[in-house]
Amino acid sequence: MKLSLIPFLAFATLSATKPTPTAESKVFLCSDSTAAEYGPQTTGIQGFGYYLYPFFTSTFVNRARGGRSTRSFINEGLWTQLLNLTSPGDYVVIEMGHNDGGTPGTGGDVGKDRAVLSGVGEETVVVKNSTGKDEVVRTFGSYLRQMIADLRAIGATPVLSGMVPLMRWNDGNTTLQKTWRFTEYSREVSKTENVLFLNHTAYSVARFQELGYAEAKKMFPNDDTHTNSVGAKVNAESFVTSILCADGPNAASFRETLSKNATEIGYGCLGVA
């Protein structure tokens, strides 16, 4: 499916100014550095959450924090802080995965305490974390289920979202990798827990794929993970498009939190779940 770049170029002039909310419900984003907001002192990177404010009439609250996984977001108290801000009727989008990989308690996880077990089952492993204490580490799916249960207990609506892609190109840099395991884990949990799933991954992949390797790489100045402001706008538009095109529990009511700016993006649905 051919996607026009005209709406993206128009969005380059759209301010990230936070609009006056006209709805009572709030929309929270729980995520990592790919969505976090960075000031001018940060060398050339910006997260997509920075550009989401104009797309909501509901109050949008970006709680994304760099370097966090589902495990560390919970263990560091960031999740409790988010819950304390949440009220019945609010929506909380959980988009994680970039920092959940690795082997808990060993290698690159030492001192970071963020790697989880792969999958969505009930497997656990006991590791010695950076505090010197034993910690029971669970699967990615298990942490997501905890978050879902916590939100439902206070009357908020959980929404799971696939993570934005890394710049991993195949076939001579002609094809951007489409499938990411933590996106698939989120999708699987969304089905078993009857939660709305946003295929942010697919819509971001489609946008970068259309731009092509050379143009897309310019939007990742430091590494294959973190975007500059232009790349963040691409991921913001693809996030909103995934809401517009979502088909699942609470999809229609969640779309009611969007502003007219969302419908002006102008990108079609991909027909993916």
pLDDT one-digit tens code per residue, 151-209: 999 999 999 999 999 999 999 999 999 999 999 999 999 999 999 999 999 999 999 99
CB 129 within 8 A of CB 105: yes
> Is residue 18 pLDDT above 80, yes or no?
no
For residue 152, being part of any structural domain is answered with yes
| Mean pLDDT confidence for 65-81 | 99
In the chain, the percentage of residues whose pLDDT exceeds 90 is: 88
Instruction: Report which residue type is found at 193.
Output: E
Q: What dihedral do alpha carbons 76, 79, 81, 86 form, nearest 10°?
A: 180
Q: What is the CATH number of the domain that holds 200?
A: 3.40.50.1110
Domain that holds residue 177: 6-263
- Residue 232: which pLDDT band, with cuts at 50, 70 and 90? very high
- Residue 1: which pLDDT band, with cuts at 50, 70 and 90? very low
Q: How many CA atoms lie within 13 A of 232 on its CB side?
A: 23
- Residue 41: which pLDDT band, with cuts at 50, 70 and 90? confident
For residue 68, being part of any structural domain is answered with yes
- Counted domains in the chain: 1
| Mean pLDDT confidence for 240-250 | 97
For residue 270, being part of any structural domain is answered with no
Instruction: Report which residue type is found at 265.
Output: I
**Is 87 a known active-site residue?**
no
| Mean pLDDT confidence for 90-102 | 98
Q: Of the residues 25, 31, 33, 186, which is catalytic?
A: 33
**Is 98 a known active-site residue?**
no
> Is residue 15 pLDDT above 50, yes or no?
no
Q: How far apart are CA 116 and CA 102, in angstroms?
A: 7
Helix, strand counts (H, E) of the chain: 10, 9
For residue 66, being part of any structural domain is answered with yes
- Residue 23: which pLDDT band, with cuts at 50, 70 and 90? low
pTM: 0.91
Question: Which of 18-22, 24-28, 80-84, 238-242 is the least confident region?
Answer: 18-22
Report DSSP letters for 145-207, one per residue. Answer: HHHHHHHHHTT-EEEEEPPPPP--EETTTTEE----HHHHHHHHHHHHTT-EEE-HHHHHHHH
What was the pLDDT predicted at 55?
98
What was the pLDDT predicted at 24?
81
**Is 226 a known active-site residue?**
yes
For residue 192, being part of any structural domain is answered with yes
| Mean pLDDT taken over the chain | 93
Q: Of the residues 58, 142, 190, 226, which is catalytic?
A: 226
| Mean pLDDT confidence for 70-81 | 99
Which has more pLDDT, 8 or 88? 88
| Mean pLDDT confidence for 111-123 | 98
| Mean pLDDT confidence for 35-47 | 90
SS3 at position 29: strand
For residue 142, being part of any structural domain is answered with yes
> Is residue 215 pLDDT above 80, yes or no?
yes
Q: 46-69 b/e with 16+ CB inside 10 Å = b?
A: bbbbbbbbbbbbbbbbbbbbbebb
Q: Hey, what are 189's tokens?
A: 């949990």
What was the pLDDT predicted at 272?
81
For residue 185, being part of any structural domain is answered with yes
For residue 273, being part of any structural domain is answered with no
CA nearest to 212, candidates 60, 39, 35, 5:
5
| Mean pLDDT confidence for 58-76 | 98
What was the pLDDT predicted at 12?
42
